[in-house]
Chains A and B, each alone.
Chain A
Amino acid sequence: MHELRLKLFIAGDSPRARDAAANLARACERLADGPALIETVDILMDPDAADEFRVLTTPTVVRVSPTPRRRVTGDLRDITQVLAALDLHLLSPP
């Protein structure tokens, strides 16, 4: 079981959604927090999830666990900022 779980909320397939997914995957490559389980939720298919997590903007990443929850929205172009927003840390360079 993964301790670090992230949900990426997108609204359909769009260049911005793909950018966000790629940027998030890249950001999570070498985390000190351990491997991340990233679940992508298309709110057009599953609006209940958007209600449940009170998502207004897309793309949005919610760190579901560990709590407290953290969230960041946007195309996630700046990985350093994304990690800071989600309170995640890179492994020290080898």
Chain B
Amino acid sequence: MSRMVPQGIVKRRTGIPGFDLISEGGLPAARATLIAGTAGSAKTIFAAQFLVSGIVNDDEAGVFVSFEDRVEDIRANMLSFGWDIAAWEKRKKWVFVDAAPDPEEPTAVVGGFDLSALLARIERAVKQSGATRVSLDSLNALFVQFAEHPLLRAELFRITTTLKRLGVTVLFTAERLDDYGEVTRHGVEEFVADNVVILRNLLQNERRRRTIEILKLRGASHERGEYPFTITSRDGIVVIPLSGIELTQSSSTKRVTSGIKRLDEMCGGGFFRDSITLVSGATGTGKTLLVTQFMAGGFKAGERCVLFAFEESKDQLFRNAAAWGYDFATMETDGRLLVVNRYPHAMAMEDHLVQMQQVIADFKPNRVAVDSLSALERVSSIRSFREFVIALTSYLKKHEMVGLFTSTTPNLLGGGSVTEKHISTLTDSIILLRYVEAYGDMLRSINVLKMRGSVHDGSLRQYSIDGRGMHIGEPFRHVQGILSGEPHLDDDGSRDDV
């Protein structure tokens, strides 16, 4: 007697960065997956990248069936990602089935027909190349060309069934009218697809935001919800797998210097090697100085350091550093410091993230500073910003890098910025730089508000800035209410010795 044995679904990795994480391994092998999206949602790129990955990563051939674009156009368009389809065609790794209608030669329909010719062509391409992956892009062109939609659905079902029986993993694309609504215009999904993936291209806060959602992966588990993605000329589609990445707390017990000896002491011996610290302060409190010393301290200890600057130009940063006695230019020439200057407005948050990750992956630093997060926050939605911080934070932690981010508080006295509200729980440590109005002077205070996993000095200390950097002094003992922005003296009124 035969018995049903539950079998795990084997998945075929797509090679699309991030997608294999949210799909927990890729697309189910020998199944059909529908990629649905509005016009311009990158369906064709997804369909092509699926084949590219098979060729590049697994040396598996693929068949691309084009119902819409001319194959010459696809070759030319995909070359912008460095995908040389023509070269793969010569090696029989990539085979086109040109199924686009010829506008000069429309097909009239008289009586019943089927798609046997299409199926025969795809089957032959699969058998000749030994392909394991087939992309069909996009079904809509077929539905526009022929009005016999029930017949098309039945035939597409026959095609997928045949291909699945050949062990081929099938990917269809189809167009949707709205980013939120019916899965596809022609209801193909129920007939042809075991799995449905939705691509969206939304306009939010006057910025494009692309997301991907796995709607169903029949019989297999996957992450739920929408994930942002971007398209880069280097990797094609790059998905940012937010919940796939876990926000681990710093696990290293190894400490590295903050670049300031007294601050290291306040932190119980320095920052943890894989921890992220947020420095919050009003303008002029010395955030950029702290970043400068953080970079210089790492450099001096033999580390590789990257600074992402979103507020000041490189010239200005180098001039400031020189004024405090740090020679960034020489450090860069030496090859262990990299200062990357970007305009926050230049691109969407997802693109910033992916480009920063690429810089980090290439340079392989030990420490990374971002000055400032607030500059980025001003140009994004709260959601995009939070996702950006989560993704960057976990990326740094995963690669055991120590991070320092700055955030600008809107008020000179007191503190609390929108930035902090959104990300304070995401960082391991928070350092506050605050102005204190006392004794008729404007003084500055530094405080390690939070430091995960470590004993630290929680006192508010006075500090000064001069031509050699930041000097941290003794705690304020007689001033209260600094953090609330309303400092006042103790009853005894004696002046702190600083």
CA distance A60 to B117 in the complex (A): 9
Please tell me if A55 contacts chain B, counting CB pairs below 8 Å.
yes
Checking B102, B106, B113, B142 against A60 with a beta-carbon cut-off of 8 angstroms, the contacting residue is B113
CB neighbours (8 Å) of B124 from chain A are 47
Checking B98, B118, B120 against A44 with a beta-carbon cut-off of 8 angstroms, the contacting residue is B120
CB neighbours (8 Å) of B107 from chain A are 57, 60, 71-73
Please tell me if A18 contacts chain B, counting CB pairs below 8 Å.
no
Contact status A43-B110, CB under 8 Å: no
Checking A50, A60, A68, A70 against B121 with a beta-carbon cut-off of 8 angstroms, the contacting residue is A50
Given known A-B contacts A44-B120, A47-B124, A68-B105, A81 and B110 have beta carbons under 8 A apart: yes
CB neighbours (8 Å) of B120 from chain A are 11, 43-44, 47, 50
Interface residues of B in 138-161 (CB under 8 A from A): 142, 146
CB neighbours (8 Å) of A20 from chain B are 111
Please tell me if A34 contacts chain B, counting CB pairs below 8 Å.
no
Interface residues, chain A, with chain B CB atoms under 8 Å away = 9, 11-12, 16, 19-20, 43-44, 47, 50-51, 54-60, 68-78, 81-82, 84-85
CA distance A39 to B109 in the complex (A): 20
CA distance A9 to B102 in the complex (A): 17
Please tell me if B114 contacts chain A, counting CB pairs below 8 Å.
yes
Contact status B113-A58, CB under 8 Å: yes
Interface size on B, residues (CB 8 A): 25
CB neighbours (8 Å) of B99 from chain A are 54, 56
Contact status B115-A57, CB under 8 Å: yes
Contact status B110-A57, CB under 8 Å: no
CB neighbours (8 Å) of B302 from chain A are none
Contact status B116-A43, CB under 8 Å: yes
Please tell me if B104 contacts chain A, counting CB pairs below 8 Å.
yes
CA distance A11 to B116 in the complex (A): 6
A50-B121, A57-B114, A78-B110 are known; give 13 further A-B pairs, CB within 8 A: A16-B112, A43-B116, A43-B120, A54-B98, A57-B146, A58-B117, A60-B107, A70-B105, A71-B107, A73-B108, A73-B113, A75-B113, A82-B110
CB neighbours (8 Å) of A54 from chain B are 98-100, 102
Checking A57, A70, A82 against B117 with a beta-carbon cut-off of 8 angstroms, the contacting residue is A57
Contact status B108-A72, CB under 8 Å: yes
Checking A11, A44, A68, A73 against B109 with a beta-carbon cut-off of 8 angstroms, the contacting residue is A73
CB neighbours (8 Å) of A12 from chain B are 116
CB neighbours (8 Å) of B104 from chain A are 68-69
Contact status B105-A50, CB under 8 Å: no
Checking A58, A70, A71 against B116 with a beta-carbon cut-off of 8 angstroms, the contacting residue is A58
Given known A-B contacts A76-B110, A77-B110, A77-B111, A56 and B117 have beta carbons under 8 A apart: yes
CA distance A55 to B115 in the complex (A): 9
Residue of A nearest to B119 (CB): A11
CA distance A50 to B125 in the complex (A): 12
Residue of A nearest to B105 (CB): A69
CA distance A54 to B107 in the complex (A): 11
CA distance A38 to B68 in the complex (A): 30
CB neighbours (8 Å) of A71 from chain B are 105-108
Contact status A74-B117, CB under 8 Å: no
A45 smallest CB distance to B (angstroms): 10
CB neighbours (8 Å) of A47 from chain B are 120-121, 124
B147 smallest CB distance to A (angstroms): 12
Q: List 26 A-B contacts (CB under 8 A).
A: A11-B114, A11-B117, A43-B117, A44-B116, A44-B120, A50-B121, A51-B121, A54-B99, A56-B117, A57-B113, A57-B115, A57-B116, A58-B113, A58-B114, A58-B115, A58-B117, A68-B105, A72-B109, A73-B107, A73-B108, A74-B109, A76-B110, A77-B110, A78-B110, A78-B111, A85-B108
B89 smallest CB distance to A (angstroms): 14
B110 smallest CB distance to A (angstroms): 4
CB neighbours (8 Å) of B102 from chain A are 54
Q: Which are the 3 A-B pairs with shortest beta-carbon distances?
A: A11-B116, A85-B108, A74-B111
CA distance A70 to B110 in the complex (A): 14
CA distance A58 to B142 in the complex (A): 15
Which of B98, B107, B117, B124 has the most chain A CB within a 10 Å cutoff? B117
Contact status B113-A74, CB under 8 Å: yes
CA distance A82 to B108 in the complex (A): 8
A6 smallest CB distance to B (angstroms): 14
Interface residues of B in 22-47 (CB under 8 A from A): none
Given known A-B contacts A50-B121, A69-B105, A74 and B116 have beta carbons under 8 A apart: no
